[in-house]
Amino acid sequence: MIKKSCENFVFSYAPGKAILVGEHAVVYGAQAIAVPLDLGVRVAILPLDANGPIIKGIGSFCPSEALVWSIEQGPANIKLALQYLIENFGEKIKKIAILVDGSLPKGFGLGSSAAFSVALMRAIFNYFSISINNQMLIEHISALETIFHGAPSGIDHTVVLNSQVLGFKKKKSQSLSWPIYCKRPLKLVVGLVGPHEGTKNAVQKLRDRKRQHEKIYERIFGSLDELAIAMETSLKEGSLGAVGEFMNMAHGYLSALGVSTGELDHLCAIAKERGALGAKLTGAGGGGAVIALAENNEMEIMTAFRACGFISFTTSVVNKVDEHL
Ligand code: MEV
């Protein structure tokens, strides 16, 4: 089906993300801070002989399944995404195969859907030689993320698209993001507890809980907003002890909001026992991943996570060299 020898193919790559503070609260207007990861998603587009489009997951992106999705077959949101592409780019979309690979585990709150959306849209524009501006790109990526996540704040695809440490705030339908220059690199240890229940579900369930006790939830979101503002200052000053302390507090608030689990709490406790400066769940929660901020002890923390049976890896967040010139 996929043409074997074709000169016409393109590759695109986008990184994953982790949220240092402010997930969930950002949906209600609080400030959040997100970082790009040095793991990501790669998309290749190739011509297709048969009628498509198809999406084929390969390599480490889906090691255990022979994943081939199309308009007829696959999860509902993937079918909708393919339909969206046909509606917006026309019949030519039916003549492509989209191969997805990458180092980023999918479904763990590390931005795999945002990375996929960003890499896919860049690849499509490139493959069909469509000239784009940033605004067009953002509109299509937001539309795909809305299909995948319901009503996302936009923080995931914004950090993935910009690939730098960002402050982010959403006000009604507008959002504001700005680069944060971190004085010191951040060494993070990621621990995976298992695929999460899905961002859309987690956000909806929290919305339902909030409806019962509006004021109490608003206060927690307000506290997370204050934490994000304080963390931004600490990142700029290179006060990693304070960054870690704020991460611990953020995890406490996320537990209070009901999005943590016993396993996520357990991993945070292990990280702190092993000397992490701070640890928290990242992303929508209800499973997913924990990030721990290390201070030259990342191997020890990673080994401790692995010893308890959790997949773990290290990643570092470094500012781009020219970012602060
Ligand atoms: C998911 O990575 C972050 C959430 O705050 C949802 C969103 O902001 O769209 C849980």
> Does the pLDDT of residue 324 top 50, yes or no?
no
CB of 153 shorter than 6 A to ligand 1: yes
Give the pLDDT score at 1: 59
Q: Which atom of ligand 1 is nearest to the CA of 145?
A: 9
Q: Could you tell me if residue 172 is left (phi over 0), alpha (psi between -120 and 50 degrees) or otherwise beta?
A: left
Q: What is the pLDDT of residues 182-221, one digit of tens each?
A: 999 999 999 999 888 889 999 999 999 999 999 999 999 9
> Does the pLDDT of residue 60 top 70, yes or no?
no
CB of 24 shorter than 6 A to ligand 1: yes
Q: Which residue has the higher pLDDT, 217 or 58?
A: 217
Centre of ligand 1 to C-alpha 214, Å, is: 19
Between CA 313 and CA 104 the distance in angstroms is: 11
CB of 284 shorter than 6 A to ligand 1: yes
CB of 26 shorter than 6 A to ligand 1: yes
How far out from the chain centre does Cα 314 lie?
Answer: 16
Beta-strand ranges (E) seen in the chain are 10-21, 32-47, 54-57, 67-70, 96-102, 166-171, 174-179, 186-194, 278-282, 288-294, 311-317
Give the pLDDT score at 64: 54
Which of 8-12, 56-60, 260-264, 317-321 is the most confident on average? Answer: 260-264
Q: What is the pLDDT of residues 66-111, one digit of tens each?
A: 678 888 888 899 999 999 999 999 999 999 999 999 889 888 999 9
CB-based burial label for 159 (10 Å; 0-12, 13-18, 19+): buried
Contact 268, 281 (CB under 8 A): yes
Between CA 252 and CA 148 the distance in angstroms is: 28
How far out from the chain centre does Cα 130 lie?
Answer: 26
CB of 155 shorter than 6 A to ligand 1: yes
> Does the pLDDT of residue 268 top 50, yes or no?
yes
Return the percentage of the chain with pLDDT > 90, whole number. Answer: 79
CB of 283 shorter than 6 A to ligand 1: yes
Centre of ligand 1 to C-alpha 238, Å, is: 26
By three-state DSSP, how is residue 105 classified?
Answer: coil
Closest CA to 303 of 293, 295, 315, 313: 313
Mutation test of ligand 1: which of 24, 106, 280, 290 has the most ligand atoms closer than 8 Å to its C-beta?
A: 24
Of the pLDDT bands very low, low, confident and very high (cuts 50, 70, 90), residue 61 is low
Mutation test of ligand 1: which of 27, 28, 220 has the most ligand atoms closer than 8 Å to its C-beta?
A: 27
Centre of ligand 1 to C-alpha 156, Å, is: 7
Contact 153, 114 (CB under 8 A): no
Centre of ligand 1 to C-alpha 53, Å, is: 29
Structure tokens at 289: 């991943």
CB of 23 shorter than 6 A to ligand 1: yes
> What does DSSP assign to residue 321?
G
> What does DSSP assign to residue 275?
T
Nearest CA to ligand 1 atom 9: 152
By three-state DSSP, how is residue 141 classified?
Answer: helix
Q: Which atom of ligand 1 is nearest to the CA of 156?
A: 2
